[in-house]
């Protein structure tokens, strides 16, 4: 590979990491409030479809983005209702949401494009390539000639970190996951904080879906998230629930994805399937303690019951 194609690959890797980073930043909030949301996979898929739907309906990129976030938020609300109010098992509820998302997107895949003879590609996020930064050696062409959503993908985790670690509201969110009863004693509503956390994760999963469709594809395909939502949850394990490390893990997984796509087109000594497996194997290794101990929020997976301490 020459320098040009290496640059091209790295730029693609960053672009493919963007949806993961956005979903990951949102998932921080749900994980921190102690609610595990494997429904993010399905929520992201629905976000993909909503983005295309609203784009076809309004012709406006930003309304499409907001639409995807809104639908994602609705799915987050359902998960919140099931797991917080109904105290359902979080994995079971998330799995049900994934099944529903897969079914509904498969069902609406036809009606989505009804009236079109061929599938039109909707407007993509504009590419922003500042002249001054273009000439930076190496970084210029890799980082600074990207669709606008990619810049957001880098800003959102930083913003999320700031909110979680530098605001009192963030402190409450973090405390809910570790010591919900202490939060309740302090006069805050545990339920409200958990709802906010889970809905936030849904909103950003929807945005991640929009980033997946509107950054370079411009169309919806059934099952197109293909495990990316799960990869984000894996990134939490590898990144040990630290926002910056989680974002870094997302970039790692996005790069593996870009690598496997490349391996399918050019002949590499290693089959492309190995690159697809890599993030998941790495996650299991991290869980098994081969890459340092992983500690999540204390109450993840357990429903909050105000009466039992």
Partner 1 sequence: MSDNVKKRDILVIPGLGGMVLSGARPLLAILLAFTVSAIMIIAQGANPFEAYWAMLRGSFGSVAALANTCVRAAPLLLGGLGVAFGFKAGLLNVGVEGQIYVGGSAAAAVGLMPLPVPPWLHLILAIFAGFLGGAAWGLIPAYLKAYRGISEIVVTLMLNYVAIQFTSLLVHEPSPLAEQGAFFPQSPPILPSAQLPILIKGTSLHIGIIIGVVAALILYLLLQYTPFGMRTRMTGQNPEAARYAGINVRRQIVIVLLVSAGMGGLAGMGEVLGLKLRLYDYFSGGLGYDSIAVALIANSNIIGVVLSAFFFGALRAGAGKMETAVGIKTPIVQVIQALAVLFVIMIGFAEYTRAARKEKQQKQLEEVSVDGP
What residues line the site for partner 1 (CB under 8 A)?
Answer: 38, 78, 82, 86-89, 91-93, 95-100, 102-104, 106-107, 109-111, 227, 230, 233-234, 237, 271, 273-274, 276-277, 280-281, 283-284, 287-289, 301, 305, 307
Q: Which parts of the chain fold into alpha helices (H)? A: 3-32, 40-58, 61-80, 90-112, 131-134, 139-143, 148-166, 168-178, 180-185, 190-214, 228-238, 243-265, 272-287
Beta-bridge partner residues of 146 = 128
What six digits make up the tokens of 187?
A: 């006069």
Shortest Å, Cβ 45 to partner 1 = 12
Nearer residue to partner 1 within complex by CB, 60 or 106: 106
Angle between helices 3-32 and 148-166 in degrees, nearest 10: 40
CA distance 220 to 252: 25
Among all chains, which residue has been given the structure tokens 């609300």? 77
Nearer residue to partner 1 within complex by CB, 53 or 154: 53
What six digits make up the tokens of 168?
A: 């009192």
Q: Which helix (H) or strand (E) holds 146?
A: strand 146-147
Shortest Å, Cβ 208 to partner 1 = 18
Nearer residue to partner 1 within complex by CB, 107 or 127: 107
Nearer residue to partner 1 within complex by CB, 22 or 263: 263
Angle between helices 190-214 and 61-80 in degrees, nearest 10: 140
Nearer residue to partner 1 within complex by CB, 170 or 229: 229
Strand, helix or coil for residue 298: coil
Shortest Å, Cβ 278 to partner 1 = 9
Shortest Å, Cβ 88 to partner 1 = 4
Nearer residue to partner 1 within complex by CB, 91 or 291: 91
What six digits make up the tokens of 116?
A: 């079109």
Q: Which helix (H) or strand (E) holds 127?
A: strand 127-128
CA distance 201 to 88: 18
Shortest Å, Cβ 272 to partner 1 = 9
Q: Would you say 270 and 263 are in contact if contact means Cβ atoms under 8 Å apart? A: yes
Shortest Å, Cβ 127 to partner 1 = 31
Shortest Å, Cβ 168 to partner 1 = 32
Shortest Å, Cβ 181 to partner 1 = 16
Nearer residue to partner 1 within complex by CB, 4 or 308: 308
Nearer residue to partner 1 within complex by CB, 132 or 266: 266
CA distance 169 to 93: 27
Q: 244 — phi, psi (to 5°)? A: -70, -40
């Amino acid at each position: 590979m020459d320098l040009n194609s290496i640059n091209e690959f790295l730029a693609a890797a960053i672009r493919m990491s963007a949806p993961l980073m956005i979903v990951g930043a949102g998932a921080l909030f749900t994980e921190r409030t102690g609610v595990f949301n494997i429904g993010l996979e399905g929520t992201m898929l629905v976000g993909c479809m909503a983005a295309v739907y609203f784009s076809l309906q309004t012709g406006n990129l930003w309304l499409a983005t907001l639409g995807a976030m809104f639908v994602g938020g609705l799915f987050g609300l359902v998960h919140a209702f099931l797991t917080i109010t109904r105290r359902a098992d979080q994995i079971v509820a998330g799995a049900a949401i994934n099944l529903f998302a897969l079914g509904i997107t498969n069902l609406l895949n036809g009606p989505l494009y009804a009236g079109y003879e061929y599938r039109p590609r909707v407007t993509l996020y504009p590419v922003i390539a500042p002249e001054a930064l273009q000439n930076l050696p190496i970084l210029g062409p890799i980082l600074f000639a990207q669709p606008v959503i990619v810049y957001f993908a880098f800003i959102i985790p930083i913003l999320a970190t700031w909110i979680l670690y530098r605001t009192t509201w963030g402190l409450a969110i973090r405390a809910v996951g570790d010591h919900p009863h202490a939060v309740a004693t302090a006069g805050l509503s545990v339920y409200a904080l958990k709802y906010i956390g889970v809905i936030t994760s849904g909103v950003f999963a929807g945005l991640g879906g929009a980033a997946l469709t509107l950054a370079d594809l411009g169309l919806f395909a059934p099952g197109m998230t293909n495990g990316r939502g799960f990869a984000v949850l894996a990134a939490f394990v590898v990144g040990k629930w630290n926002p910056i490390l989680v974002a870094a893990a997302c970039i790692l997984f996005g790069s593996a994805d870009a690598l496997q796509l490349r391996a399918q087109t050019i002949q590499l000594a290693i089959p492309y399937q190995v690159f697809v497996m890599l993030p998941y194997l790495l996650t299991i290794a991290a869980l098994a303690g081969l890459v340092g101990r992983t500690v999540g929020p204390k109450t993840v997976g357990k429903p909050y019951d105000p009466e039992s301490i």
